[in-house]
Amino acid sequence: MRIAVLVVSLLALAWCLPLDARIAWGWDETMHAAGPAWRMTCALASLDASGFADALLDCERYPFAFPLALALEQLAFGISEHGARVFCTLLWCATILAVFALARRASGSESAGWLALVAAATSPLALSFAGTVLLEVPAALATSCALWAWIRRRELSLERTCRRRDLLAGAAVSLAFFTKFNYGLLLVAGLGLY
Q: Cα(106)–Cα(126) distance, rounded to whole angstroms?
A: 22
Q: Cα(194)–Cα(159) distance, rounded to whole angstroms?
A: 17
pTM: 0.88
Instruction: Write out the chain's pLDDT in tens, 194 residues.
Output: 889 999 999 999 998 888 776 666 666 677 778 889 999 999 999 999 999 999 999 887 789 999 999 999 999 999 988 899 899 999 999 999 999 999 999 998 999 999 999 999 999 888 788 888 888 899 999 999 999 988 888 776 555 667 788 888 889 999 999 999 888 888 888 887 55
Cα angle 64, 67, 71; round to 5 = 130
Helix axes 81-107, 136-159, angle to 10 degrees: 30
Cβ atoms 110, 62 nearer than 8 A: no
Residue 11: count of CB within 10 angstroms of its CB? 17
Collapsing DSSP to helix, strand or coil, 132 comes out as: coil
